[in-house]
Structure 1
């Protein structure tokens, strides 16, 4: 479970980070103008860019390339929702020319960023509602959740935009524009790499479209509702055991999911690497299904984003009985 990140603690860390920032002045870090566009120092230092967690790290690496100094807040193998920021991480955000994040995934990051030096990737695309059974699990989608400690529904939408390659391609393009505005010296290089990244994601999107067209089943039962964008893009039906990985499913929800799985002939219940598979395994035994890992890519996989998504495609094709 997420341990929370109080606003009082955030204020304390921000104050401490401000001291570090003051001490670092003149050290060659990227400087930011009053208009919000960052400029590299006279020493030619690369703009410092912070990525909140893995999918944003990957797209920033692709677009920023060798022209940025990239820091990632969430270490591999760590559930992003559990992130608490230390003093140095808050300082990294304050010193950065740009922080790339998604509001609603990590409240600690939401509290630490400033609008003029951050890029909320979710603002680049059309988003989907937070979850089909949000109210059932006590996660009503309503405004004014800024003071709550955690939960995807705080932002009022599903934040897992990176699981739709077409949406991530749009994020790459917009990120290229933001980096170009941040570092005019390398503006064209950012835009060129953004176009290349969007093209690679377009190819991946075509592979998913073709690979999931002729499937016997269209229903995926997932550990939590992380795959709404993938389902929306490729005309699948997602049935999540829980809304988010921090929530224990109610007996009523488990019964409902089991009923749907049996009625629709689901043969595979999907688990995740960073979430205990026990509930999914019990559900699978109840409905006569097996389990398989479908990676929501919230943490760095063994390969990279593209290879992990292609592994997901193979897993889906096997589970859904898709023909070549």
Structure 2
């Protein structure tokens, strides 16, 4: 009996160092930087790049691509007019601390170049979401003066001044006002065409991959999923609007020429940007276009209280519908699809 206990003691004494050694070895393996567990932990605790998107549609696309892999913020809060935006000290500070700025391009962010210079941030990377997109010219400044249409319209109008006096002076003044509002890069509203929106998402994806190669798989996967939804949206637009090809629609704001071109429609805009006020010549232009093309509806935008446009619609017996240019709204990437589907239903209703 004593001999058996002694034997057990000897065996236990021999095994104890081996167990202790194996235990230490297991602990060390779990903590080593080469293990999958440690790599995942390090990545989750890693510093995200900070990305600033200029305004809502750019933010929606950027956030969709970035997902949780990057810290994405918006510079111009939804509902703030972007066409004549002036940067603030807070904007300069935000961009100074950012790694990447994503802009729509085509001249809509006129403030941005000087703002970036003010930040003195040499590491900053700028992604132009509209790179490689062929722009459509904005409506000519003479539209605000009741003159010829720009190159994205198919006809000209010439309205004589009823009084015969003061016409040149009024036209010159209106032209000066309109010239100040024309974007140098062409019409910037490319995001309202789902196919061009795909190109913007691709540009954002490639820019984020270049700025943050470690998260390339996430950026590519997120972009692919969003692009597929944009393809589906395009199919919806094509099928729904196919019966209405060559139909002319009048918008207050020159925001929908890319959408019109994509689906073989014709947009006539009253003013270049929402801030413009309707002049008497604008009213004449609108009435003339309505009559020429037998237009059945006018299109305004959410948040635009234009009593004169409403007055025109009543005088002509037309209904005013709302088309959303997506310059204000929710900070959810899916908001793009709900809004565009609503726009599609609005167009179909107006065209019937």
Q: Which TM bucket (shorter chain)?
A: 0.7 to 0.9
C-alpha separation between the residues in 1 aligned to 2:193 and 2:65? 18
Task: Identify the residue that residue 214 of structure 1 maps to in structure 2.
Answer: 243
In the other structure, the counterpart of 1:117 is 125
CA contact (8 A) 1:269 1:291 kept: yes
Q: TM-score, normalised by structure 1?
A: 0.77
Contact 2:127-2:203 at 8 Å conserved across structures: no
Give the gaps of 5 or more residues in structure 1: 1-40, 142-147
- RMSD of aligned residue pairs (Cα, Å): 2.7
C-alpha contact 1:216 1:320 (8 A) present in aligned 2? no
Does the 8 Å contact 2:128/2:203 carry over to 1? no
**1:318 maps to what in 2?**
349
Task: Indicate whether 1:284 and 2:286 are aligned.
Answer: no
Report how far residue 246 of structure 1 moved: 2.2
Distance 1:70 1:149 in 2: 34
Cα displacement (A) at 1:171? 0.9
Task: Deviation per CA, 1:160-211: give whole Å up to 9, x if none.
Answer: 0100010010111121111011111101211121121111111111111111
Q: Residues 105 and 56 from structure 1, CA distance in 2 versus in 1: closer, same or farther, beyond 3 angstroms?
A: same
- Kindly tell me the number of residue pairs found equivalent between the two proteins: 273
Moved over 4 A (4+): 138-141, 148-152
Residues 97 and 117, structure 1, Cα contact 8 Å, conserved in 2:
yes
SS of the residue aligned with 2:91? helix
Counterpart CA distance in 2 for 1:273 and 1:151 is: 24
**CA deviation digits over 1:94-147, x for unaligned, max 9?**
22121111232232224223696211222242211122x333337999xxxxxx
Q: CA–CA distance in 2 between the matches of 1:266 and 1:150? A: 28
Alignment of 1:235 onto 2:264: yes
- The answer on 1:174 being equivalent to 2:203 is yes
Tell me what 2:164 maps to: none
Structure 2 partner of 1:69: 71
TM (normalized to structure 2)?
Answer: 0.71
> Corresponding residue for 1:4?
none
Asked if residue 129 in structure 1 is aligned to residue 146 in structure 2, the reply is no
Higher helix share: 2
Corresponding residue SS for 2:289: helix
Please name the residue that 2:160 is paired with.
none
Distance in structure 1 (CA, Å) of the matches to 2:249 and 2:180: 22
Inter-partner Cα distance in structure 1 for 2:179 and 2:86 = 12
Q: Report which of the two structures shows the higher radius of gyration computed on alpha carbons.
A: 2
